[in-house]
Amino acid sequence: MTRAVDFGTAKLMPDTDRPRAWLLTVEGAPQSYVDLDAPAHLEFEYARRIAHVLDTAAASAESARAGAGPDVLHLGGGALSLPRHVAATRPGARQTVVEADRALLRLVTEHLPLPPDSGIELHAADARAWLESAPPAACDLLVADVFGGSRVPSHLTSVEYARAAARVLRPGGVYTANLADAAPFGFLRSQLATLGTVFEHLCLIAEPAVLRGRRFGNTILAASREELPVAELARRCAADPFPARVEHGGALARLTAGAAVVRDGETAPSPVPPEGAFSIG
């Protein structure tokens, strides 16, 4: 199924091995994989790594609030694979999804509907505009997985954006972002420097081949004003089918050294992936 959406051409392609599973691409770049019969399943490795951050942070939030489910804000929706996963694994969670592509939201909700009791609210809006109008301390977890095609939009890369994200998080809340880059990591290093001016604690999750500069790929950044559970994250990521490393502390400081903080007026989107890096078909 192919349909024009607000920011390109979207395709929903069935998985022949799973009767109710679908892959969503936009402009040829894979965006989401959803199995309606197994909503907790995450096909993409980067999504599994975000889920590890969410799961450890949600457990802390629930502990702090006597078992109450976490409030999660997702910037970027795709086919809603991460919100579906959270709803399946933490039924008490309250989730808000902000997706700028209204036509994409219609396509997804029409063909891959959410369960009526999912606890997921959908909003068609620009991610930064939503953040700047949202009440402070409104969520425990914030996931930024926003791509225009295969690039992070430039207005979501500045220190002003980072401050807006931090404002909506509760004390101890965790921000996590999906970023894509390759050596020499100009974009990634600038994002680490930028987020580091707002959040005291950072860690980076990526496959060793990406960190060694052998290929372009996704990296997951987690940030908080309180210490992150890096040991638990490292254990979970090392046990994945495609293991990843968790960099923090001195290793992350060395990677970030000399990188400039990005401010509004100086922003640029993430780099164009090499041909074939993410595209399908």
- Regarding predicted confidence, which is higher, 66 or 18? 18
Distance, in Å, from the CA atom of 48 to the CA atom of 220, rounded to the nearest integer, reads 10
Sorting pLDDT into bands at 50, 70 and 90, what band is 60? confident
Helix (H) or strand (E) holding 88: helix 81-89
pLDDT band at 199 (very low <50, low <70, confident <90, very high): very high
Q: What is the pLDDT of residues 231-268, one digit of tens each?
A: 999 999 999 999 999 999 999 999 999 999 999 999 99
Average pLDDT on 174-185 reads 94
Domains of the chain: residue spans and CATH: 45-256 (3.40.50.150)
Q: CA quadruple 136, 138, 142, 147: dihedral positive or negative?
A: negative
What one-letter code names the amino acid at 69?
A: G
Q: Is the pLDDT of residue 279 over 50?
A: no
* 124-162 pLDDT, tens digit each: 999 999 999 999 999 999 999 998 777 899 999 999 999
**CA 154 to CA 203: how far, in whole Å?**
22
- Phi, psi for residue 275 in degrees, rounded to 5: -55, 130
The average confidence (pLDDT) of the chain is 91
Give me the mean pLDDT over the 81-94 stretch. Answer: 94
- As a whole-number percent, the residues of the chain with pLDDT over 90 amount to 78
Share of the chain above pLDDT 70, in %: 95
Helix (H) or strand (E) holding 72: strand 71-75
Of 278 and 72, the one with more pLDDT: 72
Q: What is the pLDDT of residue 276?
A: 61
- Label residue 67 exposed, middle or buried (CB < 10 Å: 0-12, 13-18, 19+): exposed
pLDDT at position 128 is 96
Residues 21-33 have a mean pLDDT of: 90
Which one has a higher pLDDT value, 104 or 274?
104
- Please report which confidence band the pLDDT of residue 63 belongs to, taking 50, 70 and 90 as the band edges: low
Residue 281 scores a pLDDT above 60: no
- Angle, to 10 degrees, between the axis of helix 230-238 and the axis of helix 45-64? 140
Element (H, E) at 74: strand 71-75
Enumerate residues 6+ apart whose C-beta is below 8 A from 249: none
Q: List phi, psi (to 5°) of 26.
A: -130, 120
> Which pLDDT score is estimated for 65?
63
